[in-house]
């Protein structure tokens, strides 16, 4: 059975997954810090995710992803990583790439995600091509500075 979840729910699942991977356990305060929300807001969403069968949650205990929750979280994280890598390849500064990858992870069709994933894979194997692009961008920057 496919569970449809909101973008915000996907964010929570991804954050729970990432915290669990990093720390081995997840608490409400970890989620609220990571997402910049009040603990009461995090509790409310975690309860909803529990009702959907995506997390296991008991008050004052840790939060764990169910198999389905982990599957969704991994898919969201994979999409985000693809976009972040794509943006880094085209030389977007890392802090901007992280922010924009978050936006893109929810916005694009599966067909577009697949093609960007293929492009990232191709580009990561094409070192000369990436170096040429970097050189091109540096040349444009120099020309822009001269024209000012």
7-72 placed in CATH 2.70.150.10: no
3-state secondary structure of 67: helix
pLDDT at res. 2: 52
**pLDDT, tens digit (0-9, with 9 covering 90-100), for 38-49:** 999 999 999 999
Mean pLDDT by runs of 10 across the 148 residues of the chain is 76 96 94 96 96 91 94 93 94 94 87 93 86 90 81
- Whether pTM > 0.85 for this model: the answer is no
**pLDDT, tens digit (0-9, with 9 covering 90-100), for 96-127:** 999 999 888 888 888 999 999 999 999 888 88
For the chain, domain boundaries: 7-72, 76-147
Fold observed for domain 76-147 = Diphtheria Toxin Repressor; domain 2 (1.10.60)
Helix H segments across the chain? 7-23, 28-35, 39-51, 67-89, 94-107, 110-125, 127-147
Buried b / exposed e along 100-138 (16+ C-beta atoms within 10 A): ebbebbeebeeeebeebbeebeebeeeeeeeeeeeeeee
């Amino acid at each position: 059975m496919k569970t449809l979840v909101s973008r915000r729910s996907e964010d929570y699942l991804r954050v729970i997954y990432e915290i669990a991977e990093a720390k081995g356990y997840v608490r409400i305060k970890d989620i609220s810090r990571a997402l910049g929300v009040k603990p009461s807001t995090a509790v409310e969403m975690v309860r909803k995710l529990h009702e959907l069968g995506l997390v296991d949650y008991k008050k004052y205990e840790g939060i764990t992803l169910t198999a389905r929750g982990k599957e969704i979280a991994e898919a969201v994280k994979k999409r985000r990583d693809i976009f972040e890598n794509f943006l880094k390849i085209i030389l977007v500064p890392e802090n901007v790439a992280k922010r924009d990858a978050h936006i893109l992870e929810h916005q694009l069709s599966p067909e577009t995600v697949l093609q960007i994933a293929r492009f990232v894979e191709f580009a990561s194997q094409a070192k000369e091509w990436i170096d040429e692009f970097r050189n091109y961008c540096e040349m444009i920057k120099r020309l822009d500075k001269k024209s000012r």
